[in-house]
Amino acid sequence: MTDPLISIVTPSFRQAAYIEDCLRSVEVQTVPVQHIVVDGGSADGSKELIARHADRLHWWCSEPDRGQSDAINKGLARCTGTVFNWLNSDDLLLDGALKRVADAFAADPALLVYGGRVVHRSASGDRPFERQNDARDVQRLFRDPVINQPATFYRMDVVKDLGGVDPALRYVMDVELWWQVLFRHGAAHLRFEPLDLAVFRLHEESKTVTAHRGFLDELASLLHDLCMVTGQPELARVLAIGHDLREGLRGIPVGPEQHGVVRGMVLHFMLKWHGVVHRREQYRMMKALKRVVTLRDMKDMDDALLHRWTQLDTQLKAPTWWTFRLRRKWRHLRP
């Protein structure tokens, strides 16, 4: 059984503190790997560090680009492997990770996605992140996927057919790629194993730490567009109340037959991230949601989100945002 060639693209910008750990983690893998590094013209010493490893890279550059998604696509254009992933320059692979990936794709030529687990690394140490997808739970794969990005590998031809990731996205290009694959190809050829494959680093400058609102706005933008093409403009308008929607997205191919799938995705998103109201735009958005969604729409939600839905009735009894705030303050002041 021949190991497939795995192509890894590393987008990088001003990550001199971490880039060498990333590069070395790929170099020590024991299967064929094609590593491409696309640096955005860093002036922090990253270029010099990458140059030291040039003889072990398939290709690299250090020049201005239009951000992480653009860098990933620039590297993808140079890839010739049969398996693809990107590894951010502040993350790293664990020893033996790519052998596990290669074995999975070699054993199943129809495999679309292979995923493992990540270890979260922060100033306080390493913490295994044990959540991952269950290929049998198709509903959750659409509504609440666990995309352990540096440990999630795709068949190359699927990614190339899509043109890579959406360059209009800064934060959730991994989620958009995931949904593109699911809506186009279904969930029949996905495999996930409880194996630690990569380290996902959390630090003060990482986007995961600094840009939570941006993540939610981009997710809402994807869902807004899905609502529009599946004939649900009322849900699209609700999302627009509480989010700064992105324009120019490439779109995900869905049709009216996916109406129920998209509706469930939107309701899950709204209750997961806005089921407890804290801000004025959340109050207005969830009020609007209550007007267009019924309890019948919630019939297949999990118990935790269904509880949030029923609790919203209590939260939103106040007729205006100001009375809502007064009631909340009063509850906090009562002994």
Residues 293 and 239 in one domain: yes
8 Å CB contact between 215 and 135? no
Q: What distance in Å separates the CA atoms of residue 81 and residue 158, rounded to the nearest whole number?
A: 12
Count of residues in the chain: 335
The model's pTM: 0.94
- Domain membership of residue 95 as a residue range: 6-209
Last residue of a domain, one of 209, 239, 273: 209
CATH number at residue 111: 3.90.550.10
The neighbour count for residue 108, using CB atoms within 10 Å, is 13
Last residue of a domain, one of 158, 176, 209: 209
Residues 121 and 226 in one domain: no
Residues 32 and 162 in one domain: yes
Q: What's at 122, amino acid-wise?
A: S
Give me the numbers of helices (H) and strands (E) for the chain, helices first please: 14, 9
Residues 98 and 243 in one domain: no
Residues 119 and 197 in one domain: yes
pLDDT at 210: 52
8 Å CB contact between 323 and 277? no
The neighbour count for residue 68, using CB atoms within 10 Å, is 22
Residues 77 and 203 in one domain: yes
pLDDT at 331: 63
The neighbour count for residue 140, using CB atoms within 10 Å, is 14
Rg of the chain over CA atoms, in angstroms? 22
pLDDT digits (tens, 9 = 90+) for 73-113: 999 999 999 999 999 999 999 999 999 999 999 999 999 99
Residue 260 lies in a domain: yes
Residues 153 and 226 in one domain: no
Q: What's at 220, amino acid-wise?
A: A
Residues 232 and 255 in one domain: yes
Last residue of a domain, one of 168, 183, 209: 209
Q: Show the low-confidence residues of the chain (pLDDT under 50).
A: 209
Chain-centroid distance of CA 254 in Å reads 19
pLDDT at 334: 53
